[in-house]
Amino acid sequence: MNSSSRLWRECGRVPTWLGAFRVLVLCAMWSSGAYAEPATGPCRGAACAPHKAPPSSKTGCPQLNGLTIRAREIDLPTTGAVVTSTIQVAASGNGPTATGSYCLVAGAIHPVDRSAPDILFNVALPDRWNGKILMLGGGGFNGSIPDVTDNVPSAPTHLPGPLSRGYAVFASDSGHEGTDSVDGAFSVNAEAYENFMGDALKKTHDAALEIIDKHYGTHPYKAYFAGGSTGGREALTVAQRWPQDWDGVIAFYPAYDFTTLSLQQLRATEGFAAPGAYLDTAQRALLLKAVMQACDGLDGVVDGLISNVQACNATFNPATAYVDGKRLRCPGGTARDDTCLSDRQIAALNTMNTPLVFEYPLESGETQYPGFNVYGADLGVGSSSPLEDTVTLLALGTTQPSYPLQSSAMFDGQISDEFVRYTVMDNPNANSLTFNPALAGRWSGRISTLSGLDATDANLTSFMRRGGKLLMAHGTVDETVSTRATEIYYQRLLLTMGFGAVDSFVRFYEIPGMQHGVGTEFNASWDSLTTLENWAEHGTQPVHQVVTDTAGVPGRTRPLCQYPAWPSYNGAGDVNSAASFTCVQG
């Protein structure tokens, strides 16, 4: 649906999602001529015919300051954009990661609803431009602009990032400023939430492209997007909604079904909030030890990693498991000390391990959100790893969930609490821990509508036909975004498009021992950007990809196995070398 038909739709019906106030404002501006309809013309993608010719001359960094971008240059409704500052940044660093001098541009995209925040964005324009652009995704509820000098997720630290490689790099706060990535108060504004769920990606792309065109006097010839978690959802969003704009995307641990994920996170949080259900550090370590003793050898070698996750999930049961020859479950299921787990603790773990099934229809078509691979994960065992604090926060936190949730509570709980109180109920004083996500009562319709904004579309035919390439990767023991959910999305791609089509432009890898972007068991490092460049620009398909551990056993490697395969030990050779493993299925 083009912008004009969308506008007529909003002016001519009773609004459901955008809200009556926003629609009245938009329609009044349209009828008065104050709102400029975005251009609807030829494709604007880097490899497509532009909507207009680029300027014949270059615009210097200082001259970009104050540049205005008209609403019609942005293909979604806005009231235009402006460059708010420019700074020429000197070259820095040494060696392969050195960054050359560049122009740092800050800008703001103005909303249609005057009560909505601006979209704030930055663009880094290197003096030695390689002719390509890359957009970085955010995390959590966003609320701040990602550092445009950063690398893509899980990139090797010794290799140059996009800006150092000569990319023009840009990113935005997704349409609001927050105190941190778990601040969901912005979402009571309809336009702000639509921006967060995807619209800001297109608006930022179009505004950044105008700046890039003017600065260099020419269009980029390749365009890439990279992100993890929320940024992974954003990567899938651009491939689904604006395939003409992108030549390749990297989607790490993508929170693509944000609505149902948030509700599953709430369900898990409520499970651990129950009296006697929370595990202390020693009990988490005991659980991990029990799982390792049961499952570590299922991949052919005891090496501190569970690679055959499917077999472990099928066989491990905390209620019947043993650790050091003794039952993991406390006698009679009654809590005793740190030498066993009670039935209440096992029940909470199983809540996290099992799916949330919705008793009401969702606009997205989802009927459930899967459980997490909780058995085999570091839930916060108190190791000496410098990553332990992050892993602990992203797993169970350090404080049992209770109302109101504290910043030391599990990260999932904080996100889901904000989602329910603000996005769903528009009631900051609501007790989210009493909310039933499976039934939702009078809020079920609201949740259904919100789910329609998720990035669940499994038909990427348009992206494939224009030559787009998609790399997805997910750690097997991610406790923030379920690895099983990404498996479901990939399986839907296969069902929708067929194996041959999907294999021509998608690779999905699972990384044993990696959690949500980090991992004390296996902290993955992989040069996904070079892999994507080689595939999208030279037709070199990803083969024999290798991922390196930087934390569990620094320097060890494993083959990146395309799902559903996993790395199986060959029976001989260095257990820390990828060459000693073969990707197998079953």
Q: How confident is the model over 211-260, as pLDDT tens digits?
A: 999 999 999 999 999 999 999 999 999 999 999 999 999 999 999 999 99
Residue 43 is encoded by which pair of tokens? 């494709």
528: pLDDT confidence band, cut at 50, 70 and 90? very high
Q: What is the pLDDT at residue 179?
A: 80
459: pLDDT confidence band, cut at 50, 70 and 90? very high
Task: Mark whether 164 and 105 lie in a shared domain.
Answer: yes
Of 370, 402, 433, the one marking the end of a domain is 433
Q: What is the pLDDT at residue 6?
A: 38
Q: Within a domain: residue 414? A: yes
Task: Mark whether 205 and 341 lie in a shared domain.
Answer: no
Distance separating alpha carbons of residues 109 and 195, to the nearest angstrom? 11
Task: Mark whether 160 and 221 lie in a shared domain.
Answer: yes
54: pLDDT confidence band, cut at 50, 70 and 90? low
Q: Within a domain: residue 247? A: no
203: pLDDT confidence band, cut at 50, 70 and 90? very high
Task: Mark whether 135 and 74 lie in a shared domain.
Answer: yes
2: pLDDT confidence band, cut at 50, 70 and 90? very low
pLDDT of 279 > 90? The answer is yes
Distance separating alpha carbons of residues 516 and 36, to the nearest angstrom? 42
Task: Mark whether 81 and 197 lie in a shared domain.
Answer: yes
**Radius of gyration (C-alpha) of the chain in whole angstroms:** 24
Starting at the edge strand found earlier in the chain, the sheet holding 168-172 runs 68-69, 81-89, 102-109, 119-126, 168-172, 132-136, 222-228, 248-252, 469-475, 506-511, 561-562
Cα torsion angle, 239, 242, 246, 252, sign = negative
Task: Mark whether 174 and 289 lie in a shared domain.
Answer: no
Residue 385 is encoded by which pair of tokens? 């790893």
pLDDT of 124 > 70? The answer is yes
pLDDT in tens, 58-83: 999 999 999 999 999 999 999 999 99
Q: Within a domain: residue 340? A: yes
Q: Within a domain: residue 490? A: no
Q: Within a domain: residue 494? A: no
Distance separating alpha carbons of residues 90 and 79, to the nearest angstrom? 34
Question: 124, 243, 143: which is closest to 185 by C-alpha?
Answer: 143
Question: 263, 283, 395: which is closest to 344 by C-alpha?
Answer: 283
CA distances from 446 to 12, 17, 113, 426, 540 (A): 21, 8, 21, 11, 45
Task: Mark whether 270 and 199 lie in a shared domain.
Answer: no
Task: Mark whether 220 and 99 lie in a shared domain.
Answer: yes
Q: Within a domain: residue 85? A: yes
Question: 90, 76, 83, 120: which is closest to 214 by C-alpha?
Answer: 83
- Cα-to-chain-centroid distance, residue 481: 8
pLDDT of 374 > 80? The answer is yes
The secondary element (H helix, E strand) that includes residue 487 is helix 483-497
Q: What is the pLDDT at residue 509?
A: 98
Task: Mark whether 225 and 280 lie in a shared domain.
Answer: no
Q: What is the pLDDT at residue 421?
A: 98
What is the average pLDDT value for the chain, to the nearest integer? 92
| Whether the Cβ atoms of residue 218 and residue 53 lie closer than 8 Å to each other | no
Q: What is the pLDDT at residue 18?
A: 41
Its pTM stands at: 0.91
315: pLDDT confidence band, cut at 50, 70 and 90? very high
Q: What is the DSSP string of 438-468?
A: TT-GGGHHHHHHHHTTSS-----HHHHHTT-
Q: Within a domain: residue 395? A: yes
Question: 370, 337, 319: which is closest to 482 by C-alpha?
Answer: 370
Q: What is the pLDDT at residue 13?
A: 34
Task: Mark whether 176 and 286 lie in a shared domain.
Answer: no
Domain interval for residue 405: 260-294+307-353+361-433
Residues forming the active site: 229, 478, 516
Distance separating alpha carbons of residues 470 and 116, to the nearest angstrom? 33
pLDDT of 454 > 80? The answer is yes
Task: Mark whether 107 and 201 lie in a shared domain.
Answer: yes
pLDDT of 8 > 90? The answer is no
Q: What is the pLDDT at residue 28?
A: 44
Kindly report the backbone phi and psi dihedral angles of residue 506, in degrees, each rounded to the nearest multiple of 5, phi listed first.
Answer: -130, 140
Of 433, 459, 475, the one marking the end of a domain is 433
Q: Within a domain: residue 452? A: no
Q: What is the pLDDT at residue 56?
A: 65
Of 416, 433, 450, the one marking the end of a domain is 433
Distance separating alpha carbons of residues 405 and 170, to the nearest angstrom? 34
Across the range 150-157, mean pLDDT stands at 96
14: pLDDT confidence band, cut at 50, 70 and 90? very low
Across the range 326-341, mean pLDDT stands at 96
Q: What is the pLDDT at residue 39?
A: 40
pLDDT of 34 > 70? The answer is no
Q: What is the pLDDT at residue 363?
A: 98
Distance separating alpha carbons of residues 30 and 119, to the nearest angstrom? 21
- Count: domains in the chain: 2
Task: Mark whether 207 and 265 lie in a shared domain.
Answer: no
